[in-house]
Amino acid sequence: MKNKMKQEQHKTLQRALDAIPDPSEEELEDAKNNALKIVKEIEKAYSAMIKKAKQEAPTGLIYGKIQSGKTRAMVISTALAIDMEYKIIIVLTTDNNRLVSQTKIDFEQGLPGIQIFSKDDLETDIEHIGNMLRRRKSVVIVSSKGASALRKIATLLRKIRAQSYKCLIFDDEGDQATLDTNTLQRSRGRTLLSPSTINNLIHHDTANSLRSILTRHVFVSVTGTPQGLVLQNIGSKTKPSFIELIQPGKNYVGGETFFPESRPDSNLYIRPITHDEKLTLLNEDLMGIPEGLKQAICFFLLAASAASTQKGWPSEGYKSLYHPSVKQDDHRKVARGILSFVENIANALTDQDDKKSAEELKILKSEYKDLLNTAPKKIPSFSKLTTVILEHIDGRRIQILNGRTTNQTFSFSPSFNFLIGGNSIGRGLAIKNLLVTYYVREARRTQMDTMYQHARMFGYRKETF
C-alpha cells in the first residue's frame, strides 16, 4: 500500500522516466536519483523561504559537465516538481530560436500529458493558462532570454496573479545573458549605471522582473561552466545559495578523454594544425582550402564510412563540425571550399588513374593510416571504405548554422553532414553522431568556460570510440 501511494504521489515523475527512449537500468536510476537530489535541495530552499516571510527567494545552481544530460535533469526534475505541487515552472534558455525550439521539443517529449507553452502562446492562451491553474494543473513555459520574451512572460504572470502560486524557474545556461554585464563598469566609477537589460528583467526591476512578480519561487541556474556564477559578489541575486552536481553516466566522454595530456600533440584524439591554417582558410585572395581542413574532411568521410559498416547509417547520418570564426561571410567561404573539395574527392574516387586525383587520394590514404591508429575496433580495408564513400557521397549535405539561418528548419543527410558556424554551434546545441570537429576560431581573450562550451564533441559517445 505504501509503495502504491508513493507511485501515485510521483506519477508525473514516473511518466517522465517511462518516456526516456530505450534506457538502460543505470540510465533510469541516474535520471531518477538526479531529480530526487535536485528537487530535495529546491524544496529545502523553498521551505526556508516560506518560514522566513521576508526572506528573498533563493537562488540555486545545477552544475553538470558539457553535454552530460543537464536538459534531461531539468525535464525529470520538472516532472517531480509538478508532483510536489509547483504550479508554474518557467524554463529560460539561450536567445536562439533553434535552441529554444530544441528545448521545447525535449520538454514535450519528456513530459507526456503536460502542455508546454512557448512565448508565442502567452498572449493567446492567457485565459487557458489561468483556468489550468484554477483547476490545480501545473503550467510549464519554455522561452528564450530575449527582452521581448521576458516582458511577455512578466505580463502573463501579472494577469494570472502568479504571486499566489508555488513557482520554479530554471535558467538554462545561467551564466550567459542573465549575469549583470554592467558590474565591471560600476566598479570603475559608474555607480549609477543600472543592471544590464536581461539581468534587470529577470532579477531586479521591482515592477516587471520575473522574480519580483513571483514572490514564492526558487530560481535555479543550470550550466556546465559555473565559474561566472559562483564568483558573483556576495549579495548578488545570481549567486547560488546551494549547488547540486549532476554526475555523468559511465558512457560519457569529456575533457579527460580528449585532453588528458598538456601537450596537444600528445593526445590521441587531437590533431594540431599549423599557425597559418586560419589565415589560409579565410584569405579571400587564395583559392582552395588549407591542408588541415582537407585532412579533417577526408578523416570524417573515412570514419563515417567505417562506422556505417559496423553500426549502419543513422537516420540523420554522421556529422562533422567546422568552426572557423564568428563572421557569416567566413562561414559561406568555408562552405564553398568544403563543397569544392568534396566534389574533388568524388571525382578522384571515380577515376583513380587520373593524375588530377593524386592529391585527394594521397590525403585519403594518409588519413586512413591515422584512422587505424585512432580507432580500437577493426577498420575495413581502404578499398572497402572508399567504395562506401563513393556510394554515399552524392547524398552529402553542407549546412551553415548562424544568426542568418537561425529560423530555418534543418534536415540532415542520411550519410555525410558538414555543419559550419560560429556562436550558433556553441552552447546548448546537441549534435548526434558527431565524428570530427575542425576548430580554428581564436578568441581575443581565451577563457576556459567559452572553450568548453564549444566542445560539442563531449557527450555520451563511448560506443563511438
Mean pLDDT of the chain: 87
3-state secondary structure labels for all residues of 393-460: HHHCEEEEECHHHCCCCCCCCCCEEEEEECHHHCCCCCCCCEEEEEECCCCCCCCHHHHHHCCCCCEE
Report the pLDDT value the prediction gives residue 405, as an integer from 0 to 100. Answer: 72
Q: Are 327 and 335 in contact (CB under 8 A)?
A: no
Stronger pLDDT, 449 or 464, i.e. the higher one: 464
> Is residue 24 predicted with pLDDT exceeding 50?
yes
Q: Are 36 and 28 in contact (CB under 8 A)?
A: no
Report the pLDDT value the prediction gives residue 109, as an integer from 0 to 100. Answer: 96
Highest mean pLDDT among 29-43, 113-127, 189-203: 29-43
Q: What's the whole-model pTM score?
A: 0.80
In this structure, which amino acid lies at residue 454? H
> Is residue 165 predicted with pLDDT exceeding 90?
yes
3-state secondary structure labels for all residues of 76-138: HHHHHHHHCCCCEEEEEECCCHHHHHHHHHHHHHHCCCCCEEEHHHCCCCHHHHHHHHHCCCC
List, in order, residues 6 or more apart from 415 with CB less than 8 Å away.
304, 308, 313, 317, 318, 392, 393, 395, 396
Q: Are 170 and 107 in contact (CB under 8 A)?
A: no
Share of the chain above pLDDT 70, in %: 91
> Is residue 233 predicted with pLDDT exceeding 60?
yes
> Is residue 111 predicted with pLDDT exceeding 60?
yes
> Per residue in 377-422, pLDDT tens?
789 999 999 999 999 999 999 999 887 776 666 789 999 999 998 7
Distance between CA 247 and CA 245 in Å, rounded? 6
Distance between CA 189 and CA 298 in Å, rounded? 54
Secondary structure element (H or E) that encloses residue 41, with its range: helix 25-51
Residue 82 grid coordinates = 509538478
Mean per-residue pLDDT, 431-443: 82
Q: If you classify domain 2-246 with CATH, what class do you get?
A: alpha beta
Confidence category of residue 4, pLDDT binned at 50, 70, 90: very low
Report the pLDDT value the prediction gives residue 445, as an integer from 0 to 100. Answer: 62
Stronger pLDDT, 55 or 351, i.e. the higher one: 351
Confidence category of residue 107, pLDDT binned at 50, 70, 90: very high
Report helix angle 11-18 to 70-83, nearest 10: 150
Cβ–Cβ contacts within 10 Å for residue 451, how many?
15
Report helix angle 25-51 to 70-83, nearest 10: 60
Distance between CA 448 and CA 438 in Å, rounded? 18
* 39 SS3 class: helix
Sheet holding 434-439, edge to edge: 397-401, 416-421, 318-323, 434-439
CA separation, residue 383 to residues 16, 303, 352 (Å)? 47, 14, 11
CA atoms within 13 A on the CB side of 204: 13
CA atoms within 13 A on the CB side of 189: 0
Report the pLDDT value the prediction gives residue 164, as an integer from 0 to 100. Answer: 92
Beta bridge partners of 89: 140, 168
List every span in the chain annotated with CATH 3.40.50.300. Answer: 2-246
